[in-house]
Structure formats: C-alpha cells, structure tokens
Structure 1
Amino acid sequence: MTKKAQTPAVQNGNTDPNTLQLHKDPAQTDAAQIAAMALGSVAANAMTARTFAKGTFGTLDVTECVMTLKQRVDTTHDGNLKHAETTLTAQAAALDAIFNEMARRAALNMGEYLEATERYMRLALKAQGQCRATLETLAGIKNPPVIFAKQANIAHGPQQVNNDSFPSSTRIRAHARKRGTTPDELLEGPQHGSTNMDDRAATTPTRGHPAVETLEPIHWPRKPRRKSGGGA
C-alpha cells in the first residue's frame, strides 16, 4: 500500500513537492545537467535533510530545499560563516537539553535500578561531551588560532643559505680570511707583538721549579718465586 504524501509545510507554485525542478542550462544537455545535480553534494544532502525533517515539518518542497541549501553554500564560499555559527550554537543548546534530560532520568532510577541509572548517565555524559566539542568548534571559528611557523630552507641541489640570526662556519672562515688569520692559528710571533697565545690576559710570574717533597718508601710484599716443574 502506497503511503499518501503529507501536505507540504510551505505552499508554493509547484504542483508536486516531490518533483525537483531544474533551470535549463543551454550549455549542457538535460542528461548532463541531471547527472551533475544528482552527483553533487547540495542536492543529495538536501534530500537527506528533507527526509529527516519530514517527521517534524511534514513533506517539504524538494526544489525549495535544494535552492535554500545552495544559497547557504554560496554564502559560505563568500566567507560568511554566520549560518555555521548559528547551527553550532543551536546544536550546543540541543545537546545541553539532552544532557539534562538524561541526567534527570538517571537520578530518578538511582537507588532502585542501577543498570538503568548507568545507561542514562552514560548517555548524559556523551551528550555533555558532544556539547563541549561543539562549543570548542564554535570558539575556533570565532577566534582561529595563530600559528607561528619557523623559516624552512628547502633546497633541491647545491645551495648555501646564510641566516643572520645563526652563525655559520662559512661566515667565520670568511671573517678570519678578512683579518688575515684562521680561527685555529696561535697568536704568536712578532706580527702580534707577543709570544703568548693570548696577549689580552695578564700573567703572573711564578717560580720555575716548585718545591717537591720526597715520597715515603713503599714496602711491597715479597712474592715467592714460582717453582719450576722440572727436576734439579
């Protein structure tokens, strides 16, 4: 037995609310336009939303559902996220209502029906977790996080990159060549005016031979000689 379709919630000029009306595109054939609509995301999700909304709002006009969802998608593409914020805010409120109802039922069964209490409490905590996640998503849309990315030097082949904030061995060698010395050269010789390794630090004269005390004799135990295995 075929179920009779319910009266649509909003009346319009369409005679059949279950018939999807398309605007003719001269650049496409009818078959190509129908295939593009059927394989697209807007029409398929509009049909799914229409099916789930039927129990609450009755039979909605399929053409109006597709056009409404298409306008929301275009608004999102333009960078307007007000509808997304509205949806998340409303869903968070609905999830909070589910949490309170499940928690209330858990409290009513507490003390007598522990199994029912546990099931209702689990459903309540699941709704609470989904509500928190929804609010976190909403906060991320309103205040997106700032990402600080470090500089990445990626080279395909031989390439030398000198960053001013980090010293490199190439810069040290170039600076040493400019001064006429190498980093590991001792600062000795008459060209530096000193025979010390570093003429910047003052040295204190000391005695050539410090006093050395005589060590006490150490008496080691005498080891017995090993006897040979052969006869005398």
Structure 2
Amino acid sequence: MTPSETVVLSLPFTGRWLVQNSPASRVPSHGTTLFGSSYAIDFVPVGADGRSAPRTVRSLLGTESPEGFVGFGRSILSPVSGEVVRVHDGEVDHVARRSVGALLGYALTQPSRVRRGAGAVAGNHVAIRCDRGLVLLAHLRAGSVTVRVGDLVVPGDRIGDCGNSGNSTEPHLHLQVSDTLERDARGIPMAFQRSGQQPWMPHDGDIVTV
C-alpha cells in the first residue's frame, strides 16, 4: 500500500474511546486478513477513569450485561461522505466477557462464527461506499440503526449506537475500509482527521477524546 491509497476519515463518535487492535501497532491488526480486516481498528468507549465498566465479581468470574458498560448505546456517526450500501440489524446484543474463563470459552467458538458469515462476525453493521472503498462500522446495538440502503450520508450523521453484537466481547466499535465485504476482501489503510494537524492513526492503548 502507498500513502496515496490511505482513506482519511472523520472520527465516528464523541466522548472518550480506548484504542485496541490498531494497525499502527501491527498489520494485520486483528491477526487475520479475512473479510478485509487487515487495517481495521477497534474503539472501546470509556469513562473518565479510562474503564469501560466497573470491575465486579461478575467481571472477574463470569459474564456481564452489556447495559452495564458506559458506552453501550453511545451514538456512532458516519466518518465519511458516501452512500449506504449495506445495513444489517436484528442481531442480539449478547453478554460481555472480560473474565479469563469467559474469554477462553468464547475464543473456542470463533471458527463457527466465521463460518456463519457477516452477521455472526460483524453483528449489526452499516457499510458506506465512498470514492475509495467500503467503510464498515460494526457491532452496533440491536435496533439502533437509523439509515437505510441508498441513503446518502456525510461525516457526523448518526447511523446507530455502540453495541455488543456479533464477534464482540464488550461494547465497542469496529471500523475498517476494504474493497468489498466478502471473505477474501482486500483491506485498505485509513487515517483520521485532526483539526489543524496531519491525519494520524492512534496506537493501542491510546485514549481518543472528541
């Protein structure tokens, strides 16, 4: 990839978000190139203390309700101007998993989700076609998607809420750009706009505040 291929996006949210699985830290960022995810990034909404939810006995030993996380239901915005070409809603927001045991059990079911396709992996999601590729925003809250296929959006338009649907262990946003949404899609590099500064890609562990 060359710098000229990088798609520059607006940040698709407000508030405080913790960066995970950033392509600034490694490529492929999620350990796989499947479904065009080579340059994908995850944003986890957090509070002023940098946590996505308080630590409790359930968080240490079992599963948790997604409603207990500070970012569940936080608005997700379009990061680009373009046409909505795919909308998928109706996947449930399942329990969150932060304990070692819950995460291990979930990891063992990963191959079955990949076999079931986009709904099981991306959960509720929206794809927007821009002039450089398809921008995917995934793991949205069930029933929250506000756009339809064929809608034209601009940066800042609300498209849904942060949720915990699909291949997700706690409420967060998965964002990527790719040439298609198929299993063998090619990931496309992206960067984010900052007022008065050059586009950048945050690293794992950074907290982005908008």
- TM-score tier after normalising by the smaller chain length: under 0.3
TM-score (norm 2): 0.22
Greater Rg by CA? 1
Give the structure with the larger strand fraction: 2
TM-score (norm 1): 0.20
By relative contact order (CA 8 Å, sep 6+), the higher-ranking structure is: 2
